[in-house]
Amino acid sequence: DTGVSQDPRHKITKRGQNVTFRCDPISEHNRLYWYRQTLGQGPEFLTYFQNEAQLEKSRLLSDRFSAERPKGSFSTLEIQRTEQGDSAMYLCASSLALLGADTQYFGPGTRLTVL
Amino acid sequence: AQSVTQLGSHVSVSEGALVLLRCNYSSSVPPYLFWYVQYPNQGLQLLLKYTTGATLVKGINGFEAEFKKSETSFHLTKPSAHMSDAAEYFCAVSEGGGADGLTFGKGTHLIIQP
């Protein structure tokens, strides 16, 4: 169990550019989640997948955001035409769906700075 | 819709003193409740969780929390604080057994005074 990994750990971009982040979940975890955390706030849910299916999207996920999990393993989160308000820590979590309580395990996050 | 309120954005205690971090929730169904800890430049680590059954839940590093339905609370405690407990603590609620997106509070920064 190597834990949830995210790449890159830091990304600095200029306003208007596109960025893509990658998340590798714990192997055999079938659920994968994306959250956004801004300074001084708790994480806010963006979207989640069960295997390759995107099951829920938050209203926070604007049209400029898209997430994929093509083979049910790693996932990517793309932000198009970045804005300064997109600056945040983007967290990925994974869990193994079982009857009863799931536990979400979080990665270290990707910190995005939009200049 | 569920929500979480953490009272006190900063809590300061002396080393060896009792730690009490407050969390109140709102949920339309029986909730699942979680406490996570975040150290600087690290991801969130699960401290403990309440699902069903016993209302007093024990977690890692000597922390525990008690689910009180009548008070809609899930406060986190530790009898004796250590310097290593200094971190950001987040309470979270799930209405989907933890399988849905969690709703987090704003966090409480725990400061340990020597």
Over range B42-46, report the average pLDDT: 90
CB atoms within 10 A of CB B71: 10
Q: Among residues of chain B, what percentage have pLDDT more than 90?
A: 80
**DSSP letters for B95-108:** SSTTSS--EE---E
**In Å, what is the CA distance from A11 to each residue of A33, A57, B41?**
20, 24, 14
Q: Position A104: which residue type?
A: Q
The answer, yes or no, to whether residue A99 has pLDDT greater than 70, is: no
pLDDT in tens, A7-64: 999 999 999 999 999 999 999 899 999 999 998 899 999 999 999 999 988 888 889 9
Q: Is A92's pLDDT higher than 90?
A: yes
Choose, out of B50, B52, B100, the residue to mutate when testing the contact with A (most A CBs < 10 Å).
B100
pLDDT digits (tens, 9 = 90+) for B56-74: 999 999 999 999 999 999 9
Q: What is the pLDDT of residue B95?
A: 83
What pLDDT score was predicted for residue B5?
96
Average pLDDT across chain B, whole number:
93
Looking at per-residue pLDDT, the higher value among B13 and B53 belongs to: B13
CB contact under 8 A, A102 and B98: yes
Residue A113: both structure tokens together: 């700075």
Q: What is the pLDDT of residue A1?
A: 55
Mean pLDDT value of segment A83-105: 87
A85, A18 contact by CB (below 8 A): no
The model's pLDDT over B77-112, given as tens digits with 9 standing for 90+, comes to 999 999 999 999 999 998 877 778 899 999 999 999
Question: CB-based contact (8 Å) between A34 and chain B?
Answer: no
CA distance B82 to B65: 18
**Whose CA is closest to B3, among B90, B107, B105?**
B105
The contacts of residue B69 (CB under 8 Å, 6+ apart) are B55
pLDDT at position B60 is 94
A101 in contact with B at a CB cutoff of 8 Å?
yes
Q: Where are the beta strands (DSSP E) in chain B?
A: 3-7, 10-14, 19-26, 32-38, 44-50, 56-58, 64-68, 73-78, 87-94, 103-104, 108-113
Q: Say what the pLDDT of residue B28 is.
A: 84
Measured CA to CA, the distance from residue B57 to residue B77 in angstroms comes to: 10
Going along A3-109, which residue ranges are E strands? 5-7, 10-13, 19-24, 31-37, 44-50, 53-57, 65-68, 75-79, 88-95, 105-106
Check if A43 contacts B (Cβ < 8 Å): yes
User: So what's the pLDDT on residue A45?
Assistant: 94
Closest chain B residue to the Cα of A100, Cα to Cα: B97
Q: Cβ–Cβ of A102/B36 closer than 8 Å?
A: no
